[in-house]
Structure formats: structure tokens, C-alpha cells
Structure 1
Amino acid sequence: MSLPYSQADLSLKQPNPLYFRYQQMLANTQCISHQHPWGQICWISLGIMEISLEQQALISPANFLVWIPANTPHAAYVRQALDYTSIYVSAELAQRLPNETCLLAQTPLISALINDFCQRQVSHMQSASDHHQAELLIARLSQCERAANFLPSSQDRLLLPILNTLQAEPNNDRSLASWAQEVHSTERTLARRFQKELGMSFGQCRNRIRLLQALAWLKEDKSIQDIAWRLGYGTPSAFIAMFKQLIGFSPERYRRQIHGASHL
């Protein structure tokens, strides 16, 4: 599907080699389907961004960047107020990044490079130093971990009933061996299916499903202990460890950021 470029894009000069656009998004902001003449890196300050493509729905938490190649139709939705930065990438530098829309994991250096641009409110590159920083950023992004989606889906006949149950019951703590009996398979077969179909283990998949539910509950008045219990963790510390591993900081810090963003 071919979509016209927005007037805002048409009024811009070519990225040289990057262009930063900054926005403050309100809760429940939806962007209708559109495309850009340049590759786009999407960065959010917290929460979850949902990207709708022609063939899939992509979910990205704030510790990932979303890479969208040029001329890729997409729509976006954010559920809570947040800072959003769109980084347009020149055709030359975009050749170093994937050909398909995907998630790019933020390393401490990648985050520092982006944060420096954002704190200085750089739009087009203004100096030789900015150009070197842009080159380094893309070089690091070309080498970082990437994923097709934060929470992949599958129609595999063995995995589908497991995934459906975990989505409906994030506190479900059945073992993979128990699930193997339920779907008339073996633990080894299911472990292979999770890696082949989803690119992650059963435990990693369950943690990501629980994380998405936790992000929703952290917007409410539920305590960390209550959320941990509702998600099936024996102790709050186990939940906090999972949260830090996937998001990069504690659920309490995340909640403080939500309250801060609500005043944007």
C-alpha cells in the first residue's frame, strides 16, 4: 500500500545524516497509518509503544528502539503520556540497519548517545562532533541485539493453547513438563518449539507476558507486593528482579516516571 507523505515530512530537509523530532504524547494517543521517505528510529521514555504494520502488530517496551525502514506503512498507539523522539535516518546510514521493521535493544552507550542529542534538543546535525556521534550511534545500532517483536505470537498447535492461557492467566505457574502432558507432547519438544517459533524459552516468554500485565497494573494503586502475588511470584524480590532484567530499572522507579509523565 502506498501512502502520501505528510506535509511535515515534505517540509523537512534530508537528514544529514540524522534528524531528531521531539514530541510529548498524551495518554491514548493514536497515529493513523502513514509512512516516511526515510528510515525511522522510534524512542519512548517509558511504557509500551504498539506499532501496527500491514502483516503484524509489534509491541515494544521503552528499553527497546523500534526501527522502521523507509516507505513502510505503519500506525502507532501509546497508552500513557510520555516523551517520544523520532529519529529519521539518511538512506546511506539506513543501509547499515535491517531491511525489516524490528526492535533494537538499547545498550548503555546507545542510550547515552541518544540522550545527549535529546538533552541538547538537536534536530539536524550542527557540527562535526554531531556527525561523528550520529555515525557512532548507527554503528552501535547495526551491531546490537535485535528482535522481530517483544512478544512474538504463534499459531503452532502445541504452543497456541499455552500462550492463550498465559495471556488470560499471567499468574499461571505450570511447568513446561506439566504443559507437555496437557498438550500430549514432551518437555523437550515444547522447549524446541518455543525456541524455533518464538526465539525464546518458555520461561522468557512467560516473563514477558507478565511484564506487560505489570506495566498496566503499575498505572493503578496496586502495591508492588500485590502485583508480584497476582503475577504468580512467591516474593516481591523475584518480581522486581524480573522487571529490572527486562526494563532496566525497578517497578517503583517506573511508577514514579508514570506520575511525572502524567503532568506533561
Structure 2
Amino acid sequence: MKKNAHLIKNFLEIPACNDIPAPLWYQIRDAPAQTIYPQHKHAWGEFIYAYHGVLEVNVDSIHYLTPPPYGLWLPPHLKHSGLNRTKVTHCTVYIHESLCQEMPKHAGILLSSALVPAMMEHLKTTLSAEINPDEHLRLLHVLLDQLQHAQVIGSYLPSSSHYLLEPLLEYLKQNPSDHRSQAELAKQMNTSERTLARYSQSELGMSLHEWRQRLRIMQALPLLEQGHTVESIALDLGYASATAFINLFKRWMGLTPDQFRKTFSAP
């Protein structure tokens, strides 16, 4: 996060969890906006799931985002830090290295079955209830089994330090409503469309078009939580109509913006 230090210098540092009492354990936290978790590591792998908001995690200068209903996997002994630009409610399932033989060996977003979000919601609703500890442990083992079968992908919104892509990606983050074509953007960067397409695929693992769609989804999430109308968000992101934005959102998130708001926004 050093390259963004000027943006987060006023963020409040909050302690990471290093006192983990069991081989398989979970913790739910409400993190205020503009806070950071300092860099740390331990012998537990972490499955991080955001109920509300988007937690940002930095691993070796790779930037991971955790938009619900996806979760982030961090293997044991991996140094990482966290950043909360907005208020985030998230759960971390801690899995000791002795239980991680079947878990992915690299960090990434886990695309799990529909059962996992349901189990995470159940963990949240029963946290303060007087539930038999053995029952909770059985649930965590079922969750572990589901996570072992999940597909792992890279960061939802990859970054790049490439001399050509880095300034362009930063520009697009600041100007998400810019709908110029890839050819027009390439001309702005004094390169060819073909070269820009090649670098996007090799550096980001996806086309620039897909990256821009993901960016707009990520920028829409906090606006939805803050109560902005779908129409105003669509306008901010450069869409001519709310319908076009709704179709994009549903294609990527599986829900309409209003459905997502009702499901994942804080009460």
C-alpha cells in the first residue's frame, strides 16, 4: 500500500486478530470507514467474507477486493494488510495450517457454491445465540469442505505496475463514466489498439473491456449501500439509461442492484 500512502495517511489503524483460540474458528468484525489493518501473518489460513461493504486486502503489492457474495482466501503464513475505505462488516474463518492440505496454495477470490453465502449468513445470525459449541464446529467443518471445492481466481479487479497500463487504469478509476473505445484510449496513450489489448490480457488476465465493467460494478457497490438511486448511479457511471446499468450489474453479480441492496446492505 506504499504507493497509496498519501491517500490513506489519515486512516486509523485497528488491530488485526492474532489471538486465535482454535484450529477452526471464525470472527465477525465491524470495521469503521477509513481504517487499516496493519501487515501481519500467522499459521492460520483466512477465508474473508464481507457481509456489507468491500474489504480491500494487499498481498505483495497485489490488490484484492472482496465484494459479496464472493470471499477471499489467504493461505497460512502469508503477509497481508487490510484497508476499509467505507464501513465494512466482515467475517474471517480461520483455518489452521494442519487443516489446509486441500485448500488452494495461492491467494485469490473463491467462487464457491450457493451454500457458502447461506452458511455465512447463518454464522452471523447465530453468533450471539446460545448454540451448542459442537454444533458450530460441525457447521465450520461443512463450510471447510465446501471451500475446498471452490474455484479460485485472481483479484476481482487486478492492478498493474506496467508503464502503459498503470496510468490508464488510474485514469479510468477516476473517470468511470468515460466510455471511449479501446482504440480511442490507445490513441490517448500513444500506442496501438492491438498493443493495448495485448498488454491488458497479459498483465490483467482479462480484456480491458471486462476490467472496465468490473470497475463500474465495484464503484457502484458503496453507492448502493449509501442509498443512492439506481438512476443516479447509472448516470455517474456514464450510462444513458438505468436499464443498461441494471443489465450489466445483474450479469456480473447475479442480482439486480435493488436486490443486491436489500440482500447485502447494512440495516
Q: Which residue number corresponds to residue 162 of structure 1? A: 168
Task: Work out whether 1:215 is the aligned partner of 2:192.
Answer: no
Contact 2:104 2:152 in 1 (8 A): no
Equivalent residue number for residue 126 of structure 1: 134
1:89 to 2:95 alignment: yes
Q: TM-score, normalised by structure 1?
A: 0.78
Q: Specify every segment of 5 or more residues in structure 2 that has no aligned partner in the other structure, as ranges.
A: 1-15
Amino acid across the alignment from 1:206: R
- 1: CA distance between counterparts of 2:87 and 2:170? 29
2:196 equivalent to 1:187: no
1:86-132: CA deviation from partner (whole Å, max 9, x where unpaired): 111132331222223222124312223333444443999615x954x
Per-residue deviation, residues 185-239 of structure 1 (Å, max 9, x unmatched): 4434433322221111222100122223222433546431121122111221121
Equivalent in the alignment of 1:77: 83
Structure 1 residue runs of 4+, over 6 Å off?
Answer: 122-125
**1:1-264 correspondence to structure 2 within 5 Å:** 8-9=19-20, 12=21, 14-15=22-23, 18-121=24-127, 126-127=134-135, 131=138, 134-220=140-226, 222-256=228-262, 260-261=266-267
Gaps of 5+ in 1: none
Count of paired positions: 250
Question: 2-side partners of 1:259 and 1:109: how far apart?
Answer: 20
User: In the TM superposition, what is the alpha-carbon distance from 1:241 to its structure 2 partner?
Assistant: 2.2
How far residue 135 of structure 1 moved from its aligned partner, in angstroms, is 4.8
Q: CA 1:235–1:97 in structure 2 vs 1: closer, same or farther (change >3 Å)?
A: same
Percent same amino acid among aligned pairs?
Answer: 28
Deviations 1:17-70 (A, max 9, x none): x21222333444432333333111111102210123343333221222111222
Partners of 1:160 and 1:83 in 2: how far apart? Answer: 30
Q: Deviations along 1:120-163, whole A, 9 cap, x unmatched? A: 43999615x954x5455334433433233121112334433432
| Distance (whole Å) between structure 1 residues aligned to residue 262 and residue 189 of structure 2 | 42
Q: 1:22, 1:86 within 8 Å by CA — same for their partners in 2?
A: yes
Hey, what's the Cα distance between the residues in 1 that align with 2:18 and 2:232? 48
Structure number with greater CO (CA < 8 Å, separation at least 6) is 1
In 2, are the aligned partners of 1:23 and 1:83 still within 8 Å (CA)?
yes
Three-state SS of the structure 2 residue aligned to 1:218 is helix
RMSD: 3.1
CA distance in 1: counterparts of 2:150 and 2:66, whole angstroms: 16
Q: TM-score, normalised by structure 2?
A: 0.78
Per-residue CA deviation, residues 165-195 of structure 1 (Å, 9 max, x unaligned), is 2112101111123333444544344333222
